[in-house]
Chains A and B, each alone.
Chain A
Amino acid sequence: MSALSVTYAILFYLATAVLVIGVTRKIMQYAKTPAPLKIPTTPAPVTKQGVVLRMASEIVLFNSLFKSNKWIWIFGWMFHFALLLILLRHLRYFTDPVWFWVELIQPFGKYASFAMVAGLAGLWVRRIFVERIRYITSPSDHVMLALLVAIALSGMTMKFITHTDIVKVKEFFIGLLTFSIEPLPSDPALIIHLTLVVILMLVFPISKLLHAPGIFFSPTRNQVDNPREQRHLAPWAAKLDADRD
């Protein structure tokens, strides 16, 4: 068992723990924080089912962004859905035998990487050249884009240029799932790819990537428009009612 394998085993356990615990803590914080007033951005659905539809159209189609700016929408949507396909495709490195539907999307997932890079590049170009977006950009926003582009490019290097021993990689990750450390190939592209993924997992709960769980808690999108029919009262606000007639 090489030092490399042990190091990356530890890194992945650590990154997974940080990601899971960090995001769970944020989700619990969002869930526990009361929304004292009804503030859906109207027109808003008047039923729960309506809210589910509204939320779904935001998550799947980026509906509000579509209304707002077609360029950001096309690049953003392309990046996110390519990423989703790629992540699902990566399930093949964690399952044996590989699930049927994962096999099915394999060819799409492979080429989605081009769409992912194109989408990120489009967003990055806008961040650099559109004056308004440049104004609101911090260095960390560039770093985040660089990180995602580098993850995609290092992955594509392995897929399309210098193949790594993917069977060994799969054994390493399936090993991690059963708490045994198998040897990890030491190709530079693979090591770079995995290192960047670890970094991404570590920064997830402390960065703007929290938009992923956060959107589900956005009161302007997830509230039913029924304030006249149903009294909405936060626990801290209910206490104020104690001294009233």
Chain B
Amino acid sequence: MADFETPELKEIPEIPKLKEGAMAHSKPYIAKAEFQEELGFPGELLDDWKEKAIEKIGDLKSRYRSVQVFLDICVKCGACTDKCHYFLGTQDPKNMPVARQDLLRKVYRRYYTFAGKFFGKLGIPEFVGAAELTKEVLDDWYSYYHQCSQCRRCSVFCPYGIDTAEISMAAREIMDSVGVGQKYCNEILGKVMKIGNNLGLPEPALADTLEGLEEEVFDDTGVPVKYPLDVKGADILLVTPSADFFAEPHVDGLIGYGKVFHEAGVSWTMSSYASEAGNFGMFIGSYETMRRAALRIRKAAKDLGVKRIVFGECGHAWRVAYSFLNTLAGPFDFLDPNYPVPQHICEFTYDLIQEGKLKFDKSENDHMTLTFHDSCNVARGSRMGSKMNGQFEIPRAVIKAVCNNYVDMPADTIKESTFCCGGGGGLLTDDLMEIRVKGALPRMEGYKTVVEDNGVTNLAAICAICKSQFTKVLPYYGFGMTDIVSVHQLVSEAIILSDAPSEEAEDSDDSSE
């Protein structure tokens, strides 16, 4: 299947021995000049890259408290060393969170601290964990800062809350600023800025796809559920990851959102201008780029005159939406103040369930036993509902409302301790397949446990990246690629559409199956 070995799933996960340099060869393709320049970065490695990189460290640490504080205060206690899924899957010590941070920290110490400068002049900067910035260090940055999915699991366990995601975002911005960007992220951002979504689907293609969906749902249910695009004056703007428009199982989730909106009797629309919930600006650590992408949503909401914004199932998108959107593109005082801005589709569906406005036939999902994969950016970078832990409880409550068989994976692999799918943070590209497969190991071990012990057959998620990643990596570990399902796919299966034609007598069909 590939030129690397898939790690073995252990009964009891163990902390592996170190294998130095095991993943030093892993590097994503470099972005071409045109995509770099589109985002305002130099097209290729600058001649004076070293000076510029050092300068950029200074700039970032003066603008981000996280960078300044986190680079200073690590005591190297080792608490994080066994927490990263990429370390657990590869055994490469530079994938331990503290070691990954140290790749940048040692340069910061050399050029910005008394101890680093002093021992640097003596010729022994390593005495205080400092190091000169060299081409080898830059290569290490490129390799290992693209083996971090910015999942924040380390930050849960750090006694000071040091978040490697913040450091890897900073490092990627430094690299972009000296001309070494990552092809995958930067090309995608170019498409968002020009066309409106990560996949580069223009308005006619979207309209066509959505029309196809309407026909499909009508054939299936006999109900004219609408999937509207660019409808001015609609109440709700749905912003969803563009993978929802055609990828499996994403699109089944989108079908589900439409049915929920239909049943709720609200008017809603998508926007071709802001047809992307994802915001890869976060992955590359660029506030300005992230803001540019976020402002498209503000503009779409204003132009369409909607009252509310709802986000579809997407992990990092929800972090940017929940935690950053108000900062980047707010205030949203032109929207209906009775609803939070933005809302998650799970919050929307959950509220309707609470109000008793949705009816389900849970037996439609009886052929499955489900577990829920907490996507990292939802779990550790956002919330749902008005109370702490809502991001764990609300999706589970939605699943349990539409399914009879549900089991959680082991406690140390879910909720705030959830393991990343292995493809987040801008790594969901074929040129990083090895790290994606190896990084999925701890998640697969958790899944294996409930598959074997509880007969779990499927894994539900609310993240487009998780869904795509699992579709690819599940087979490497001996599971089916279709084990992964969308949460709103489950909703879609079970929901009873009140205006469905009754003569179909679906019930009798089902019971005979």
Q: Which A residues are within 8 Å of any B CB, using their own CB?
A: 26, 29-30, 33-39, 41-46, 50, 58, 62, 64-65, 67-69, 72, 76, 123, 126-127, 130-133, 135-141, 203, 206-208, 210-211, 214-215, 217-221, 225, 227-234, 236-237, 240, 244-245
Contact = CB atoms under 8 A, between A and B. Distances in A.
A28 to B, nearest CB: 12
A230 to B, nearest CB: 8
A166 B163 CA distance: 46
Nearest to A244: B295
Contacts of A130: 78
Given A33-B65, A225-B388, 5 more contacts: A35-B66, A39-B323, A136-B96, A140-B127, A217-B69
Contacts of B331: 231
Nearest to B324: A37
A27 to B, nearest CB: 11
Contacts of A228: 322, 326, 340-342
A133 B326 contact: no
A206 B113 contact: yes
27 contacts: A35-B65, A39-B66, A41-B155, A43-B416, A58-B159, A65-B77, A65-B157, A68-B83, A68-B157, A68-B158, A68-B159, A130-B78, A132-B81, A133-B81, A136-B81, A136-B93, A141-B76, A206-B113, A211-B160, A214-B69, A217-B69, A218-B162, A220-B163, A230-B326, A231-B330, A236-B63, A244-B295
B93 A132 contact: yes
A184 to B, nearest CB: 29
Nearest to B125: A138
Interface of B: 15, 17-18, 61-66, 68-70, 72-83, 93, 96, 98-99, 102, 113-115, 126-129, 152, 155-163, 166, 287-288, 291, 295, 302, 322-324, 326-327, 330-331, 340-342, 379-383, 386-389, 391-392, 416
A135 B18 contact: yes
Nearest to A207: B115
A33 B63 contact: yes
Contacts of A138: 76, 126-129
Contact of A64 (B156, B340, B391): B156
- For the complex of A and B, the 3 pairs showing the least CB-CB separation, nearest first, are A214-B73, A68-B157, A220-B161
B380 A217 contact: no
A88 B129 CA distance: 32
A126 B78 contact: yes
Nearest to A209: B75
Given A215-B73, A233-B327, A69 B78 contact: yes
Contacts of A231: 326-327, 330-331
Contacts of B341: 228
A65 B322 CA distance: 28
A36 B327 contact: yes
Contacts of A38: 323-324, 327
Contact of B96 (A39, A135, A221): A135
B118 to A, nearest CB: 9
A41 B63 CA distance: 20
Contact of B161 (A35, A41, A127, A240): A41
Contacts of A227: 322-324, 326-327
Nearest to A141: B76
A137 B76 CA distance: 7
A215 to B, nearest CB: 5
Given A43-B391, A207-B115, A220-B66, A72 B160 contact: no
Contacts of A137: 76
B166 to A, nearest CB: 7
A214 B326 contact: no
Contacts of B73: 208, 210-211, 214-215, 218
A143 to B, nearest CB: 8
Looking at B74, B161, B162, B287, which has the most chain A CB atoms within 10 Å of its CB? B161
A72 to B, nearest CB: 5
A45 B388 CA distance: 7
Nearest to A240: B291
A236 B93 CA distance: 37
A35 B67 CA distance: 9
A211 B79 CA distance: 15
B113 A131 contact: no
B319 to A, nearest CB: 9
Contacts of B80: 68
A130 B17 CA distance: 10
Nearest to B98: A136
* Most chain A CB atoms below 10 A, which of B62, B327, B391: B327
A138 B289 CA distance: 37
B108 to A, nearest CB: 13
Contacts of A233: 327
A76 B77 contact: yes
B363 to A, nearest CB: 33
B63 A30 contact: no
Contact of A136 (B99, B157, B288): B99
Contacts of B93: 132, 135-136
Contacts of A30: 65, 68-69
Contact of A140 (B69, B129, B326, B416): B129
Given A65-B159, A137-B76, A140-B115, A42 B379 contact: yes
Given A41-B155, A228-B340, A219 B65 contact: yes
Contacts of A221: 160-161
Nearest to B152: A41
B78 A64 contact: no
Nearest to B64: A36
A123 B65 CA distance: 29
Most B CB atoms within 10 A — which of A65, A211, A220?
A220
A29 B160 contact: no
Contact of A35 (B64, B127, B322, B382): B64
B334 to A, nearest CB: 11
Nearest to B343: A228
Contacts of A45: 388
A67 B158 CA distance: 9
B160 A218 contact: yes
A36 B82 CA distance: 30
A98 B312 CA distance: 65
A68 B129 CA distance: 24
A33 B58 CA distance: 12
Nearest to A62: B159
A35 B163 CA distance: 14
B72 to A, nearest CB: 5
A140 B102 CA distance: 14
Contacts of B324: 37-38, 227
